[in-house]
């Protein structure tokens, strides 16, 4: 096989000169025009850049810039219940609370000359421009930390030359108004680390289960390696790539002389202990955190809650909350097994001394239904409403627990030509009896008669005072609970009676601060006397009889307790609401579609045992306390 070798022939230099002269003759007439056109293009480009720069954001706003930050919700003792955030899950920390190893690792891989340049690193930018020109697209950034920061805060994610120029201009400007440490702190709290973690603190807790202040060299190098492509290099997604990136960072740190070869080797070989992805996890107590979030939104607005970095101390006791949830779940299964057609239950426990909500369960399974029946479901309370009628009687000064009422037939015209004839649950009448006895055995007719005697508008007024805001009209059947109320309204109202008429605003929130510890809301109880203490104490005495001698005997817990059963005539709702001096609890059972629960479903037979079960556990370590007798208070005239 032969090959042909083409030898390069030397060109005659005179011919070269003639060539350029020829070109000159051909183009001489257009050279001036080309030059003018090029100048116009450059000038136009400069004018365009000048106009663009004039329209760039004003970086001075960063002096007062606060990134969106996750809000955290805790129980009364400081146990974390949930985190609430919008798009960005972030907890801001000062620079001196971030590991020095992390700071060095990030600078090593992202901007090793950070403390030397003034916003842009000309060497890095030049290298990036060359690489991008060779590749024909934007493949290398050359960005400094300052440029990355302004890109994250102000600019779009498009990889365009114009955006790169804007980054550079803004980076120079930001370096003129902020110190290097301020920029680095802002960057580390702003950057995205993967798995919905924004800022180093939430990222450190997710990846390694610790604060950013405690990250060691090995952990810091792995985290610094995430910044370029967080999801790709996440150890949760690809451990091999994560280790490769870690080694690149450690090698760079060694090359810079920031760590020794021995330190690099030790960090490379260290066996890391990882945390778990938790930024997308829901609350362990969704009904509590939802109630808290709604209260916060009403006071501060949605954006403040989702982005404001609030620290929220709720009134809920996590241990009591767990008892409440377990009680509801266990009894729901048991009652279903006994043939009770009940889809839902709710339980609310309130401290009468503070009106702090200690436990709140808004349904059987929050995973299946987020509707909070404890705070949102308005259901008929049945006979559990009667205590408000009898309180009105006592407060009028005309009645005592021993006053006689008549359980005898009666009919009334209730705003129409039709007669309303109240009946008792067993369709019998027992004649004259004391108010104490009438309430203990839950007779309907005496409650109707007392309601008419004291005035139904007065009963409504008392309900409003007790915080029951559900719609109600002064109809004859009102004393029998012919209105809709929430379990929270019932628990709070009974708590006021338990506290002899002293009332604070019921709340699930004790205190709210921002991430710096500044107090935004302080719900320290401010009790006001809203009921007649003698009347409230007298009612408590009668309600104790309900538990010891009446329809609520299944609620006995081995200590003084007061309460009332509630059963609607249609058997769609059954209740027990009761209290000791330290805790008032309402329990409701029903169906969301208002389907009847079944014949024989009563508050005394089915709900009182649930109340007893919960209260026995909740009060296990609480000293027994007796109610104050009415004789210690002045009777109203």
Q: Where are the beta strands (DSSP E) in 65-155?
A: 71-74, 80-84, 89-90
- In the residue annotation, 87 being an active-site residue is answered as no
- Choose the catalytic residue: 283, 383, 442, 538: 383
User: Is residue 266 left, alpha or beta, with left meaning phi > 0 and alpha meaning psi from -120 to 50?
Assistant: alpha
Query: Alpha-carbon distance 527 to 509, whole Å?
Result: 16
- In the residue annotation, 110 being an active-site residue is answered as yes
The DSSP code sequence of 230-291 is HHHH-TTT-HHHHHHHHHHHHHHHHHTTSS-HHHHHHHHHPPP------TT---SSHHHHHH
Continuous segment of H or E residues that includes residue 549: helix 533-549
CA angle at residue 342 from 338 to 344, to 5 degrees? 130
Continuous segment of H or E residues that includes residue 347: strand 344-350
Q: Enumerate the H helices of 271-385 as residue ranges.
A: 286-300, 302-307, 318-337
Query: Alpha-carbon distance 259 to 261, whole Å?
Result: 7
Partner residues linked to 74 by β-bridges: 80, 313
Query: Alpha-carbon distance 86 to 70, whole Å?
Result: 8
Q: Residue 41's CB: how many other CB atoms inside 10 A?
A: 10
For 433, residues 6+ apart whose C-beta sits below 8 A from its C-beta are 404, 405, 406, 407, 443, 446
Question: Would you say 352 and 372 are in contact if contact means Cβ atoms under 8 Å apart?
Answer: no
Query: Alpha-carbon distance 455 to 435, whole Å?
Result: 17
Query: Alpha-carbon distance 202 to 194, whole Å?
Result: 10
Residue 334, both tokens: 């048991």
Query: Alpha-carbon distance 294 to 288, whole Å?
Result: 10
HSE-up of 89 (CA within 13 Å, CB side)? 20
DSSP 515: T
- Choose the catalytic residue: 110, 219, 440, 489: 110
Question: Would you say 144 and 187 are in contact if contact means Cβ atoms under 8 Å apart?
Answer: no
Catalytic positions: 110, 383
């Amino acid at each position: 096989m032969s090959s042909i070798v083409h030898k390069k022939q030397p060109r005659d230099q005179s011919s070269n000169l003639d060539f350029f002269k020829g070109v000159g003759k051909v183009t001489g007439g257009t050279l001036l025009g080309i030059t003018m056109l090029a100048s116009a293009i450059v000038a136009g480009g400069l004018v365009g850049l000048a106009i663009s720069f004039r329209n760039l954001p004003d970086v001075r706003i960063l002096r007062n810039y606060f990134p969106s930050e996750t809000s955290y919700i805790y129980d009364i003792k400081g146990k974390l219940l949930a985190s609430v955030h919008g798009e960005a899950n972030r907890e801001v920390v000062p620079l001196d609370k971030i590991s020095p190893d992390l700071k060095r690792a990030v600078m090593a891989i992202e901007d090793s000359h950070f403390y030397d340049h003034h916003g842009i690193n000309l060497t890095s930018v030049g290298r990036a421009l060359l690489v991008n020109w060779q590749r024909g697209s934007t493949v290398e950034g050359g960005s400094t930390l300052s440029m990355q920061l302004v890109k994250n805060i102000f600019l779009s994610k498009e990889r365009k030359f114009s955006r790169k120029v804007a980054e550079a201009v803004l980076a120079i400007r930001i370096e003129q108004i902020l110190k290097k440490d301020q920029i680095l702190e802002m960057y580390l709290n702003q950057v995205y680390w993967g798995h919905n973690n924004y800022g180093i603190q939430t990222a450190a807790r997710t990846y390694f289960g610790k604060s950013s202040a405690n990250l060691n060299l090995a952990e810091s190098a792995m985290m610094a390696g995430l910044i370029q492509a967080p999801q790709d290099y996440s150890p949760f997604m690809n451990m091999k790539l994560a280790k490769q990136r870690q080694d690149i960072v450690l090698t760079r740190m060694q090359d810079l002389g920031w760590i020794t070869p021995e330190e690099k080797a030790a960090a490379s070989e260290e066996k890391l202990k990882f945390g778990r992805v938790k930024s997308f996890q829901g609350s362990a107590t969704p009904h509590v955190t939802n109630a808290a979030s709604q209260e916060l939104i009403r006071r501060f607005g949605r954006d403040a809650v989702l982005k404001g970095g609030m620290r929220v101390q709720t009134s809920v006791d996590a241990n009591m909350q767990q008892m409440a949830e377990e009680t509801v779940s266990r009894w729901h299964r048991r009652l279903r097994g006994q043939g009770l057609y009940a889809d839902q239950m709710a339980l609310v426990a309130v401290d009468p001394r503070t009106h702090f909500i200690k436990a709140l369960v808004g349904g059987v399974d929050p995973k299946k239904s987020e509707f909070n029946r404890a705070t949102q479901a308005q259901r008929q309370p049945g006979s559990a409403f009667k205590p408000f009628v009898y309180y009105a009687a006592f407060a009028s000064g005309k009645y005592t627990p021993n006053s006689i009422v008549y359980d005898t037939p009666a009919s009334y015209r209730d705003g129409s030509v039709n007669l309303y004839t109240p009946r008792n649950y067993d369709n019998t009448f027992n004649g004259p009896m004391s108010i104490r006895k009438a309430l203990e055995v839950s007779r309907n007719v005496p409650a109707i008669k007392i309601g008419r005697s004291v005035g139904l508008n007065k009963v409504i007024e008392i309900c409003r005072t007790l915080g029951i805001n559900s719609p109600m009209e002064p109809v004859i059947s009102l004393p029998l609970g012919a209105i809709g109320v929430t379990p929270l309204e019932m628990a709070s109202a009974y708590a006021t009676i338990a506290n002899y008429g002293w009332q604070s605003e019921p709340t699930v929130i004790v205190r709210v601060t921002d991430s710096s510890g500044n107090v935004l809301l302080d719900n320290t109880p401010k009790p006001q006397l809203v009921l007649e203490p003698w009347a409230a104490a007298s009612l408590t005495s009668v309600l104790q009889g309900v538990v010891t001698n009446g329809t609520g005997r299944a609620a006995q817990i081995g200590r003084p307790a007061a309460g009332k059963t509630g059963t609607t005539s249609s058997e769609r709702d059954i209740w027990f609401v009761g209290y000791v001096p330290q805790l008032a609890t309402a329990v409701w059972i029903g169906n969301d579609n208002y389907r009847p629960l079944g014949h024989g479903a009563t508050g005394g037979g089915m709900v009182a045992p649930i109340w007893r079960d919960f209260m026995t556990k909740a009060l296990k370590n609480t000293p027994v306390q007796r109610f104050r007798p009415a004789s210690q208070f002045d009777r109203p005239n």
